[in-house]
Amino acid sequence: MIVTTLKPLLAKNRSWALQRRERNPDYFDAYLHQQKPHSLWIGCSDSRVPAEVLTGSHPGELFVHRNIANMVVAQDDNFMSVLQYAIFYLGVKRIVLCGHYGCGGVQAALSLPDSPLAGEDSPLARRISALRNALQEGLSDYRASEAEESDKLNRLVEANVLAQFAHLAATEPVRQAWRVGQALDLFGCVYDLQSGHLKELIQQSAEEPSP
């Protein structure tokens, strides 16, 4: 029987905290009583895409929401509460929607209706089905393309970012912020697991037409 403990994580945590205090004794004081992040990050739950690590951000700089395949679902109370809180209570100036190449959620959506998830009534199955519906145009391009499989999958990941970005720009909190003149820019990016680089796909501000 394998027994798992938190000891390795706790040890790394203590080491990290010690290193931060040695470099800057006031490191943890800056956001001790409040947070003022400059950006909301909407990303995939994939463990290989940690927002703070890949952007070199410190505590207090990013307000983060992650879910399967970085989806924007207006009926998701969890997502919408994060979005509303970030815009109107934290006053973020930027929202970054980030997908990543090799996304398992996108690949699962591609495999429907032949996936074991097909016909299953579970939160994961419903989420993947919703993702496939959002990717209908991208799936058509995928089938028509004669490119290498990896390139086709990468394009489908990018198509998902663009589809979710359109959903984000249409949400009521975003539209409301733009109506009252609140500074808020949206960015759609994709993360390359192989290079560690972010690639910007799309950007929108209040004065621009909806995508």
Is 66 buried (19+), middle (13-18) or exposed (0-12) by CB count in 10 A? Answer: middle
**Alpha helix (H) residue ranges in the chain:** 7-23, 51-55, 77-84, 104-111, 123-134, 136-144, 149-170, 172-179
Return contacts of 108-111, CB within 8 angstroms, 24+ apart.
109/69, 109/135, 110/135, 110/139, 110/142, 110/153, 110/156
Catalytic residue (choose from 44, 65, 98, 127)? 44
Catalytic residue (choose from 65, 98, 100, 189)? 100
Catalytic residue (choose from 46, 65, 98, 132)? 46
> Beta strand pairing status for 62-67 and 185-191?
unpaired
Catalytic residue (choose from 65, 103, 127, 132)? 103
Is 26 buried (19+), middle (13-18) or exposed (0-12) by CB count in 10 A? Answer: exposed
Q: Give the integer Cα–Cα distance in Å for 175 and 20.
A: 39
Instruction: Please give the backbone phi and psi of residue 186, each rounded to the nearest 5 degrees, phi first.
Output: -110, 140
Contact 122, 151 (CB under 8 A): no
Nearest to 49 by CA among 98, 111, 120: 98
Catalytic residue (choose from 48, 58, 175, 197)? 48
Q: Is 189 a catalytic residue?
A: no
Q: Is 29 a catalytic residue?
A: no
Q: Which residues are catalytic?
A: 44, 46, 48, 100, 103
